[in-house]
Structure 1
Amino acid sequence: MQVTNIPSPAEDVEVSFGSPSGTRTRQVAGGRDVAERRLTAARAVAAETVLNGDHAVVVIGVTSNGPELTWMNPAFERASGYSLAEAKARDGDILSPGYRSVVLARLAEHAMDREPFPMTLPTLRPDGEEVAVPVMITPHFDGRDSLDFFVAVQFGALEPVATPSPDLGYHSRHALETVARVSDILSQVGDDQVLDAIGRLLTRHLYPWCGFFADDGVLTPISGLAGGVAAGQRPPGRAVADQDDPVGRLLGATLMRRVRIGVDSVESAGSPSAQLVEHARAALGGTLAPGGELLVLPLLGRGRTLGVMAVVQRGVGDDQEESETVLELVARRVGLAMDHSRLYEAEHRVAEALQRAMLPEQDQVDGLDVWTYYAPNAEHAQVGGDWFDVVHLDERTVATVVGDVVGHDVEAAASMGQLRSVVRAFATELIDPGTVLTKVDGILEGMRIPRPASLVYATLTPADEETGTWVLDYTRAGHLPGLLISGGEVRDLDGAPGRLMGFGGAERETATVRVRPGDVVMFYTDGLVERRSRTIQDGVQLVRGILQEAAAAATGAADVGEALLRRLSEPPEDDIAVVIIRLPEPTGPAGARSPRQARWRLSSDTDSVRMARRLTVSTCELWGVANAGAAELVVAELVSNAVLHGWGSVVLSLKDPGDGLRIEVEDGNPVPPTSLEVHPARVGGYGMRIVTRLADWGWRPSGAGKVVWARMRQEIPEGLL
């Protein structure tokens, strides 16, 4: 049948009917309206066929975690034996063991062809029967031309699944699929949850219970590759006592071997073997049958045991040896992954220590309010080429440098250290910014520093003691202009531009501007303003707006800096270094200015708490700050937390900007402080509550660690002291 003429909805339709005796033509009344109604009816019939017909249909969505079941019709539910909810509860894992990787590979192979392709979906039903569903798969794309989902429609009869090899049975395919899935999990799941994911996989297919444990004096469950003792070493004093226990001996092994523990035969209470049995009993409750066994294997790194893996065996069967071989392969893979993770962590700590050693010690600058900030890239190894310096060049001149060496690795940090040392050496002799960088250019040509670098170098010198004005001289080497906030307006410090360091060739210039009390000067690296979601220009405009608002209401450089961090709260995509300098208003006797500030580096031990308290009280008395007792309490709490929970040395800073004492305590632990709920069974939890009553407080990242700050309130609640 052929429709040959549809001129308009009002005209008749000419339809030709073919037959063995010839072709006959007749007019069909109704025109295009009838044709459209029939097309609509045909679509409805097709939709009904897809929804409730005998041919299986399934939609496979494409997500960031890979393909996943999105929808299936009743025919597919009957073929597979699973409802959509049941299939999703199994994470879509309804394929026959051994075939999942093949199916995913076929989908990936044909995903971008935009053409339908045939495939067989081998499915394991809940009753153990395996069926093959022949389907035609069509990829569908969204409006942005991105692959959105696949539609698979059955086009043939269901068939039994063919065994991949005559010698490869059901359990063997289970084993191969399990090992492949473990490899996928190790490469795709985050390090902190990867062992939990592997445990769920093994308990789903092979064992009633599985656990991973590290030895830190007791066997502690771990869920990630970095869990347990960081160096993978056994605690002192355990070696001799553990030799009588099979798991204890396993913890000291350097070769792969299997240990079986009868759940009823553990005699030594508190031994590693007894601890494993107790963990299994706690996890399985009453289902840990008497006479059962735990199979334990070491998680081996390079020449050491990092932990153990334990499973409860179902019983003796034909596939027991095969299952144990799979378990051994899994343990080897997990052990190597743990070892690689810890080697990476060790390298990370070395790089971090190098970076922290190269970050500056900010000089205490009388007459200027200085706030500095450094944050490493959130996506890299917390080491890079950004840095800042704030130093006294002589009794009158203060210099600041903000620089950026390209890269986020140890080589970038090493180049930064070399460049920083050269700049500081010439700065102390030559002072003038243009002259300093011109000399540095000449030195860098012979040093062969492998990374390009930008920087801005500035000096501040008092110009008029009575009015409190200063002279700001600066020069730039391929760096973003600094910002000056004066009289409520923000202007770029874009004078004296120049090429990147080492590419100078000509004499560099020096630009000069006068700054007055209340003005704010800011230098920064591009990591502060650059994001994937916006251009550098947009980021600079955003910062200008924030500074204009913050500087008008701020009484100190720290207020401006904290406002900047609050508004730009997303994790940095590049290293960030910031220096903010505010010129305070003259106060008190001639020549005296606020803020006054003091800074001390303390060791990480309990004696530092007493020292910090004494330093705080004596400084408050010297400055005439009221409520020295309240400041002492706050400092004691913050320093105690830094000693107990922080890493490395502790830096205590006191600043008096004129509107309340500001306290800052820095340590090397990036984890933010937390106020605990007070509970009779918990020791502690009161300290930060006291701080909250006495001061406004917060925290910010600093290098690889953090700074916890507190601004003392002018009025202390009655009865608190």
Structure 2
Amino acid sequence: MVVVNSHASPLPDQALAEVRDRALKSTSVPMALLDAAGTNLPVIWVNDAFERVTGYGVEEARSRQTAVLDDTPFHQDDIARLADELRAGREIAHTIVLRRADGTRLACRAHLSPVRDAGDGALTHWVAALQDLTEQLSHDAEQAAMVETERRERRSLGLIAQVSDLLMDVDDPHALREIATILRRAVVGWAAFYLNDGGLRVADGIDAGRPPTGKGSRHGDVQAVGEVGPDVVQQLLDAEIDRPVELALGGSYGDGSASAWLAQQADAQLGPADDATERSVLVFPLPGRRRVLGVLVVHPHGGHGLRDLEPSVRTVLDLTARRVGLVIDNARLYDREHRLAETLQRAMLPEQAEVDGLDVWTYYAPNSENAQVGGDWYDVLQVSQDVIGVVIGDVVGHDVEAAASMGQLRSVVRSYIFDITTPGPVLERVDQLVAGMRVPRPAGLVLSTLTRSEQVWRLEYSRAGHLPALLVRAGVVTQLDAAGGPLIGFGGVPRTTGTVELEPGDVVVYYTDGLIERRDRGLRDGLAALSAVAAAVTARDAAGVGEELLSRLADHPEDDVAVVVVRVPSPLDTAERTRSPRRRRWSLPSEAASIGRARHAVVRTCQAWGIEDAANAELVVSELVANAVLHGFGHVSLQLYDTGDGLRIEVEDANPAPPVTTDGHPGRVGGFGMQIVERLADWGWRQSRGGKLVWAKVRPGSLPAGGR
């Protein structure tokens, strides 16, 4: 039986030393032995891994030792700390950079451990072990790059969100300037927007009401002088180029070209250059649906070109330009549709009627939030010398079909009322014809006639599914709710007629549901509110009554509003003029007929308020409204105020350009309008949210209009 000892016998010292030497030489960790007693710790031994990793043997490693200080970005504090640790003989770990024999760099962590004498403990050597950091640094760099990419994406999303928030308020006159400021603070050195409206112009806001120009608008006759470069900006505006372009500010462009103009503008905005390097800007198009609406011009940090632009910055600029272009196009399209719809609506309504023996005031306004054509309508007809027809109605819907139905009904009612002046029989015939015409939309209306006999007026009326008119007499309101019937086209039974004898001072108010209906209340409550307001009216003229009703009930209408006020004059009107309200307003279409209506409104208002110099006020308002119609665009607003010492006239239109006093047009008639206003009134102007407002206060005792 053989017994085997399970404990291996220890190797002799010499054998153990040989094994240790072979182990250190063959380990995969690069290692070197440094002489602690020598100057600069010279290398006296390296293992195979060290030579394999660095490419240096003992001699080469010793000659490259001092280069470590040059290859590694040591701070002075690091050098001082390392020197202290070496003198103290403490273990050291520090990241260094070694240049390999093939010229590449190796980032590694050097671990230096002291080796002391076995007898007296004196420091004799240092063992240096190198930890390769290449993989770790690559991973760290990758992580850092991912973090930086995410940071840039978050920044880009944040910028686009800010731009979107600013673009939500298309009426903000400084929206584009604020967007340019955001870009300048975050991603570029300078930015500005230029819109192409009759040539490029600096744009601070969207200016939705400005009429756009077509393709090819220029800045003058382009003259080629010597060798000139292509007009890349004009090519961008004409959609011949669909990508951003780089515009050299010192380039040679044709006189009057878009590129020359824009380069001059950008150069002036950037100021003097810091060096002699030729500067350039990047021009991004603002695309609309059918045309390029303008450009976004930026100067990147460091003057980088398109190729050097960071992808995240390029994305932000591209998205910003596209969103701005789309919002401008939508805003202008909406504004054009809204103005077109309003023009169509008003074209179907009559001008304010002048009725002998009656005071008549009419008002119509579409819902400001609805750009479509509506179905509210009214009509005032001079049937004969002593018979006046008044009709107000509402076709269901807010579209072209509703407007078409309204136009058909208006024509039918007009045709029949001239043959039959009694409202009930007129509506019966309208029912028959509408049933045969197959009008697609239900409609309600109130038809009435006012007949004069020996200076006394008799009101006859019939209702077809419409709210009752109101009779206001001495502060008491009566709903004219007799003679009711179904909607037009759904009759089938005889229509009845109600009759009321009117007295001097009586007021009859016709209206559509937009005046009284709100989301937070029903028609019954709205009708009660209208009756309460009408009972408290103190005005002694139809316009005053209508304006007071509007000021109390129609500040924020949720639907179209149509109102007709008819008042029978009273001998007490002159004595009680001082009780009239002292503010009137009219909304007028931008057309020549509005000038005459404005003059009529001023004359009637001066009569109602007992203000003298009505002729001067008439001339002043005529000039102001004419300027708004001829030189402005959009709707015209007229407001009159009794200031106690004269009449203040305010006219507002959508053109922000200020009025200009001229010396007339040589060889042509006209151009003296504001000179006339200056002679008769104190005047001025200011920017308004929708454009500009021109005001004039007629001076008491001004030079009569006929004496100028």
TM-score category, normalised to shorter length: 0.5 to 0.7
User: 1:440 is matched by which residue type in structure 2?
Assistant: V
Deviation at 1:329, TM superposition (A): 4.2
Deviation at 1:311, TM superposition (A): 0.9
Which among 559, 562, 571 is matched to residue 547 of structure 2? Answer: 562
After alignment, is 264-273 or 205-214 more displaced?
Answer: 264-273
User: 1:571 is matched by which residue type in structure 2?
Assistant: H
Aligned to 2:194: 213
Is 1:417 the counterpart of 2:410? The answer is no
After alignment, is 440-449 or 342-351 more displaced?
Answer: 342-351
Q: How far, CA to CA, are the matches of 1:323 and 1:186 in structure 2?
A: 19
- TM-aligned CA distance change 1:206 to 1:445, over 3 Å: same
Partner SS, residue 212 of structure 2: coil
Deviation at 1:558, TM superposition (A): 1.4
Q: Is the 8 A contact 2:504 2:570 kept in 1?
A: yes
Deviations 1:86-121 (A, max 9, x none): xxxxxxxxxxxxxxxxxxxxxxxxxxxxxxxxxxxx
- 5 Å-filtered alignment, 1:497-508, equals 497-508=484-495
Deviations 1:174-226 (A, max 9, x none): 58626853784487443656544543443343212222211234421232273
Aligned to 1:365: 355
- Structure whose CA Rg is larger: 2
- 5 Å-filtered alignment, 1:537-576, equals 537-550=524-537, 553-568=538-553, 570-576=555-561
Partner SS, residue 411 of structure 2: helix
Q: Is the 8 A contact 2:195 2:294 kept in 1?
A: yes
Deviation at 1:256, TM superposition (A): 0.7
User: 1:356 is matched by which residue type in structure 2?
Assistant: R
Deviation at 1:374, TM superposition (A): 0.7
| TM-score relative to the length of structure 1 | 0.60
Say what the alpha-carbon RMSD is for the aligned residues.
5.2
Partner SS, residue 430 of structure 1: coil
Q: Is the 8 A contact 1:195 1:225 kept in 2?
A: no
Q: Is the 8 A contact 2:388 2:449 kept in 1?
A: yes
Aligned to 2:206: 224
Is 1:301 the counterpart of 2:262? The answer is no
Q: Is the 8 A contact 1:373 1:578 kept in 2?
A: yes
Q: Is the 8 A contact 1:402 1:455 kept in 2?
A: yes
Q: Is the 8 A contact 1:262 1:291 kept in 2?
A: yes
Is 1:260 the counterpart of 2:242? The answer is no
Q: Is the 8 A contact 2:221 2:256 kept in 1?
A: no
- TM-aligned CA distance change 1:716 to 1:520, over 3 Å: farther
Partner SS, residue 536 of structure 2: helix
Aligned to 1:484: 471
After alignment, is 443-452 or 189-198 more displaced?
Answer: 189-198
Q: How far, CA to CA, are the matches of 2:256 and 2:364 in structure 1?
A: 48
Deviation at 1:392, TM superposition (A): 1.5
- TM-aligned CA distance change 1:305 to 1:293, over 3 Å: same
- TM-aligned CA distance change 1:282 to 1:482, over 3 Å: farther
- 5 Å-filtered alignment, 1:565-604, equals 565-568=550-553, 570-585=555-570
Deviation at 1:326, TM superposition (A): 4.6
User: 1:305 is matched by which residue type in structure 2?
Assistant: V
Deviations 1:405-445 (A, max 9, x none): 12233332222112211221222222211111122122222
- TM-aligned CA distance change 1:711 to 1:299, over 3 Å: closer
- TM-aligned CA distance change 1:664 to 1:548, over 3 Å: farther
User: 2:359 is matched by which residue type in structure 1?
Assistant: D
Deviation at 1:544, TM superposition (A): 2.6
- 5 Å-filtered alignment, 1:366-515, equals 366-381=356-371, 383-463=373-453, 465=454, 468-515=455-502
- TM-aligned CA distance change 1:633 to 1:580, over 3 Å: same
- TM-aligned CA distance change 1:392 to 1:565, over 3 Å: same
Aligned to 2:38: none
Partner SS, residue 450 of structure 1: coil
Q: Is the 8 A contact 2:510 2:565 kept in 1?
A: yes
- Structure 2 residue runs without a partner (length 5+): 1-139, 573-587, 639-645, 662-671, 684-689
Aligned to 2:104: none
- TM-aligned CA distance change 1:560 to 1:675, over 3 Å: farther
- TM-aligned CA distance change 1:628 to 1:328, over 3 Å: closer
Is 1:203 the counterpart of 2:193? The answer is no
Q: Is the 8 A contact 1:211 1:311 kept in 2?
A: yes
Which among 249, 254, 266 is matched to residue 235 of structure 2? Answer: 249
Q: How far, CA to CA, are the matches of 1:301 and 1:213 in structure 2?
A: 14
- Structure 1 residue runs without a partner (length 5+): 1-159, 588-600, 653-660, 695-703
Aligned to 1:518: 505
Deviations 1:615-638 (A, max 9, x none): x99xx9xxxx98675356435434
Q: Is the 8 A contact 1:523 1:579 kept in 2?
A: yes
Q: How far, CA to CA, are the matches of 1:278 and 1:393 in structure 2?
A: 66
After alignment, is 404-413 or 494-503 more displaced?
Answer: 404-413
- 5 Å-filtered alignment, 1:46-195, equals 169-170=149-150, 173=153, 177=157, 181=161, 184-185=164-165, 188-190=168-170, 192=172, 195=176
Aligned to 1:529: 516
Q: Is the 8 A contact 1:239 1:252 kept in 2?
A: no
Q: Is the 8 A contact 1:403 1:456 kept in 2?
A: yes
Q: How far, CA to CA, are the matches of 1:306 and 1:371 in structure 2?
A: 43
- TM-aligned CA distance change 1:651 to 1:185, over 3 Å: closer
Deviation at 1:272, TM superposition (A): 3.1
Identity of aligned residues (%): 45
Deviations 1:642-664 (A, max 9, x none): 44445599999xxxxxxxx9999
Partner SS, residue 554 of structure 1: coil
- TM-aligned CA distance change 1:450 to 1:203, over 3 Å: farther
User: 2:190 is matched by which residue type in structure 1?
Assistant: W
- TM-aligned CA distance change 1:294 to 1:189, over 3 Å: same
Q: Is the 8 A contact 2:193 2:202 kept in 1?
A: yes
Q: How far, CA to CA, are the matches of 2:209 and 2:655 in structure 1?
A: 20
User: 2:482 is matched by which residue type in structure 1?
Assistant: G
Q: Is the 8 A contact 1:386 1:405 kept in 2?
A: yes
User: 1:355 is matched by which residue type in structure 2?
Assistant: Q
- TM-aligned CA distance change 1:451 to 1:267, over 3 Å: same
Deviation at 1:473, TM superposition (A): 0.5
- 5 Å-filtered alignment, 1:269-280, equals 271-280=257-266
Query: Number of residue pairs matched?
Result: 516
Q: How far, CA to CA, are the matches of 1:180 and 1:302 in structure 2?
A: 21
- 5 Å-filtered alignment, 1:693-712, equals none
User: 1:208 is matched by which residue type in structure 2?
Assistant: G
User: 2:500 is matched by which residue type in structure 1?
Assistant: V
Deviations 1:452-481 (A, max 9, x none): 222111100013x1xx32110011112111
- TM-aligned CA distance change 1:205 to 1:632, over 3 Å: closer
Partner SS, residue 454 of structure 1: strand
- 5 Å-filtered alignment, 1:316-355, equals 316=304, 319-320=309-310, 323-355=313-345
Deviations 1:280-324 (A, max 9, x none): 456555688764321002223344322112111123486535533
User: 1:637 is matched by which residue type in structure 2?
Assistant: E
